[in-house]
Amino acid sequence: MASLAEKHRTMPEAVFKALSRLMTEYAHGVDTRGDPEKVVACFTPDAALDFSAVGFPVMNGEDEIRAFYTGLVENMAYEFHMAANPRAESWDGTVGTLTSYVMGMGLAKDGTAISVQVKYWMECVEYEGAWRCRRFTLEAMMPMAA
Confidence at residue 129, expressed as pLDDT on a 0 to 100 scale: 96
In-domain check, residue 34: yes
In-domain check, residue 145: no
Domain assignment of residue 131, given as a range: 4-140
In-domain check, residue 8: yes
Nearest to residue 103, comparing CAs of 121, 78, 81?
Answer: 81
Number of C-beta neighbours around residue 146 at 10 A:
3
Confidence at residue 7, expressed as pLDDT on a 0 to 100 scale: 52
Confidence at residue 33, expressed as pLDDT on a 0 to 100 scale: 82
75-105 pLDDT, tens digit per residue, is 999 999 999 999 999 999 999 999 999 999 9
Q: Where does residue 61 fall: left (phi above 0), alpha (psi -120 to 50 degrees), or beta otherwise? A: left
How many independent structural domains does the chain possess? 1
> pLDDT tens per residue, the chain (146 residues)?
555 555 557 999 999 999 999 999 999 999 998 889 999 999 999 999 999 998 899 999 999 999 999 999 899 999 999 999 999 999 999 999 999 999 999 999 999 999 999 999 999 999 999 999 999 999 999 876 65
Confidence at residue 5, expressed as pLDDT on a 0 to 100 scale: 52
Number of C-beta neighbours around residue 132 at 10 A:
18
Confidence at residue 34, expressed as pLDDT on a 0 to 100 scale: 81
55: CATH = 3.10.450.50
